[in-house]
Chains A and B, each alone.
Chain A
Amino acid sequence: GAGVSQSPSNKVTEKGKDVELRCDPISGHTALYWYRQSLGQGLEFLIYFQGNSAPDKSGLPSDRFSAERTGGSVSTLTIQRTQQEDSAVYLCASSIRGGTVAKNIQYFGAGTRLSVL
């Protein structure tokens, strides 16, 4: 079956512009996660969705970052007024459910590489 799909695969933007990154999770997965991978900071958690709700937004670095999920499926991560330090690979993952079960395997997409000039 299809895995996690992210688009675009690459995005180049100018400082100050807004960008939208899209994630299409594995069909039937109720939990969705966004992470950021950068050279200096490694892999960082951004936000978690259970269905359309985001009970954990603790990793969003500033109020310029927001995310939504509609229909329990596709999610969009929006970065407003992009800065050069936002340059990174943004990875999306999904799992069959959230909750407190430790074995909750997250399956990742190939990411969107964002470059802010």
Chain B
Amino acid sequence: AQKITQTQPGMFVQEKEAVTLDCTYDTSDPSYGLFWYKQPSSGEMIFLIYQGSYDQQNATEGRYSLNFQKARKSANLVISASQLGDSAMYFCAMRANNAGNMLTFGGGTRLMVKP
């Protein structure tokens, strides 16, 4: 079975600073993908970034980067130069090839950006 753990229920960050949101995962499948989604108060889940288990380099998408440490089974999201619009819930998710097509989600982290 797959499991995602996000240990930070809530975090504050000052505008323009960087912040790291933690995610650890557990799977026995050697082939898997890791995803981060943002959910603002409007409710829509917005895809941010993807990391494959066989990718050699950490994924980056604009101000988002993923600190992937395979041996530690962690996939932390780093947001650089935080903006007020970054305030939202952030979910880490995994899809393992032997688990079908479903995404398994962590419990989420609520990020609040202070002006």
Interface residues of A (CB under 8 A from B): 3, 31, 33, 35, 42-43, 45, 48, 50, 55-56, 58-59, 89, 91, 93, 98-100, 102-111, 113
Contact = CB atoms under 8 A, between A and B. Distances in A.
Interface residues of B, number: 28
A43 B91 contact: yes
B107 A110 contact: no
A3 B45 CA distance: 11
Interface in B31-80: 31-33, 35, 37, 42-47, 50, 52-53
B47 A48 contact: no
Interface in B56-115: 91, 93, 95-97, 100-108
B44 A105 contact: no
A3 B55 CA distance: 28
